[in-house]
A and B are shown apart, each in its own frame.
Chain A
Amino acid sequence: MLLRLVRLELFKIARKPRTYIAFGAILAIVLLLQLALYKDGETYLRFALQSLEGSFGITGTIINGYFVCFVILQTLLVHVPLLIALVAGDSIAGEANMGTLRLLFSRPVSRSTVLLGKFIAALLYTLGLLVFMAVAALFGSLLLFGPGDLIILKSDMIVILDSGDVMWRYASAFGFAFLAMSTVAALAFFLSLFAENSIGPIIATMAVVIVCTILTTMDIPMFNALKPWLFTNHMLNWKGFFERPPDGAEIARSAALLAAHIVVFVGATLLIARKKDILS
């Protein structure tokens, strides 16, 4: 029955116009960044290399497909949570708003199975979005700019990765990004249970992400003890795959913490939904 429910949920997601907003937005941003770097990449590089000019002299072509993809991911993965929340936040609240939640919950299927089906469908949507992003950002950039060694510019150093050593890092980074975005989907899904309108959980999800991100980036002693437990502190650790060598233990710790958040959010949703009166 769970598989059937997942299929039905995917069918519903596919038929909703809002589903395609995210794909459209990603394609637009990727194309804009590719176009900008194609036309004016040298200006961007000069700006990025300002702090390193005294220490390094770089000759040759830095801007290639791998480099452009890295720039796109850095820009885009901060905004993707909103696109994920658009669908995950709507998954329960949208049904409550239409009145179809009472229909789902009065069918001969347990509430937990219905909700699990919905969450798995939201995960598959998230996966679809990231695969689309990978194709557009990585393969699109490779097509447009060609391959080459990946040079990552940091504030005080440069990491150079051989072109043959890059693809597995991107695959792992997208895998990690899927876990990070699934955490956002789980949060939106959890908040969706308490609303009868999808706008509420979407805004609430973004508010939580923004507040946690601020707490993560601020260096205030009071919040420092909290930081290791905030999911936003770990969401951008996909960049760890582009270190030389990657800090496997740190990445695994982040992945475990994100997975734990998913389990807590989804578990709480199922537990609360079991006894919740459906009054919508």
Chain B
Amino acid sequence: MPPVISVSHLTKQYPGLRAVDDLSFTVEEGGVYGFLGQNGAGKSTTIRMLLTLVQPTAGRIELFGKELYAHRHEVLAQVGTVIERPDLYKYLTAYDNVRLMSELSGVRADRARIMKQLEQVGLADRATSKAKTFSQGMKQRLGLACALIHNPRLLILDEPTNGLDPQGIADVRRLLRHLSREEGKTILVSSHLLAEMELVADSMLIIDRGRKVAEGRVQELLNPDDMRVELTAADPASARAALARSTWATRLEPGADRLLLRLARTEVPALNRDLVALGIDVLALQPRHSLEDYFLSITQSAHAPAAR
């Protein structure tokens, strides 16, 4: 089966700015594919090129094994999208927004189908409310309902958790997982919320200044042999002292505010047992910002001046 997305040597040149520079990547069927990069890295431009909103200066895009521009209608009929902020007609009701989008996508969804879609995003009881009365989180969910109404194989989401509160973020995360695992959809999602991406993405691509700096499965990229674990103890000072005297002393990171240990994922059970043996009352043991560390390390090294 061909990749869902295949991008090769994609370039977008604006006057005085190369927004995307010789970018190549593939997205296989199924799963959530994270698309990371700092602001201005070229994520939105790439996504817009995938949707034919921006014309590439050079390069080739294939969706479902077909060249995008040659098979535009056929290919885009299988794509649902939310770009940056939900694109909604604020003067229309939630129901009318979804209905409009189904017709634009070439599908005549009946009332039951539209209501089912609204129900999936938790908006069935607000079907007759105008979109302008919705909170940011509700607009985001309505945007997703519009993107899903024609049952696309591929979802392309640009910053879908922008402006959402923690509950909203968790709702979107649950929905993306459901769509990916239960309905088998392929999801390309860009976000700057690294911890969030770590929770939801199976694979990811990191770009910086329009160029690819890393691509692969999240667990491979994050290197399970070098992770940081935060220990929350009932008495942190005693816990630090006890660990400093134990075999874990060399793994303990300096700093008084948090108890952080650097270790391999496979060592976590042993640490847990030793903490109990040392008489430390453990409240929590959590991996910390591993994606953030990784992201900063590769983007900062890309920005660092070359050694002389």
* Chain A interface residues (CB < 8 Å from chain B): 1, 4-5, 8, 11-12, 15-17, 98-100, 102-110, 275, 277-279
Contacts and interface: CB of A to CB of B under 8 A. Distances in A.
Contacts of B105: 107-108
A4 B48 CA distance: 25
Contacts of A100: 87-89
Interface string B78-89: 010101111111
A278 B54 CA distance: 6
26 contacts: A11-B96, A15-B89, A15-B92, A15-B96, A16-B91, A17-B91, A98-B89, A99-B83, A100-B88, A102-B83, A103-B81, A105-B53, A106-B51, A106-B52, A106-B79, A107-B76, A108-B72, A108-B76, A108-B77, A108-B105, A108-B106, A109-B106, A110-B73, A278-B48, A278-B53, A279-B54
Contact of A277 (B53, B90, B101): B53
B293 interface: no
Contacts of B268: none
A16 B90 CA distance: 10
Q: How large is the interface on B (under 10, 10 to 19, 20 to 34, 35 or more residues)?
A: 20 to 34
Contact of B54 (A99, A104, A277): A277
B100 interface: yes
Contact of A109 (B73, B85, B86): B73
Contacts of A104: 104
Interface in B94-118: 96, 100-101, 103-106
Given A98-B90, A102-B87, A278-B48, 19 more contacts: A1-B106, A11-B100, A12-B100, A16-B91, A17-B91, A99-B83, A100-B88, A102-B48, A102-B51, A102-B53, A103-B146, A104-B104, A105-B51, A106-B52, A108-B74, A108-B75, A109-B106, A277-B53, A277-B55
B160 to A, nearest CB: 14
A265 to B, nearest CB: 23
A107 B54 contact: no
Contacts of A5: 104
B84 A99 contact: yes
The 6 A-B residue pairs whose C-beta atoms are closest, nearest first, are A106-B51, A103-B87, A108-B77, A278-B53, A108-B73, A108-B76
B89 A8 contact: no
A16 B96 CA distance: 13
A98 B87 contact: yes
Interface of B: 48, 51-55, 72-77, 79, 81, 83-92, 96, 100-101, 103-106, 146
Contacts of B85: 99
Contacts of B101: 103
A107 B103 CA distance: 10
Contacts of B100: 8, 11-12
A105 B74 CA distance: 14
Contacts of B90: 98
Contacts of B77: 108
A15 B88 CA distance: 14
B252 to A, nearest CB: 49
B88 A98 contact: yes
A98 B146 CA distance: 15
A107 B83 CA distance: 13
A105 B72 CA distance: 11
Contacts of A103: 81, 83, 87, 101, 104, 146
Contact of A8 (B79, B86, B88, B104): B104
Contacts of B53: 102, 105-106, 277-278
Contacts of B88: 98, 100
A4 B103 CA distance: 8
Contacts of A105: 51-53
Nearest to A1: B106
A193 to B, nearest CB: 15
Nearest to B72: A108
A275 B105 CA distance: 21
A208 B159 CA distance: 40
A103 B87 CA distance: 7
A106 B54 contact: no
Contacts of A110: 72-73
A275 B55 contact: yes
A2 to B, nearest CB: 13
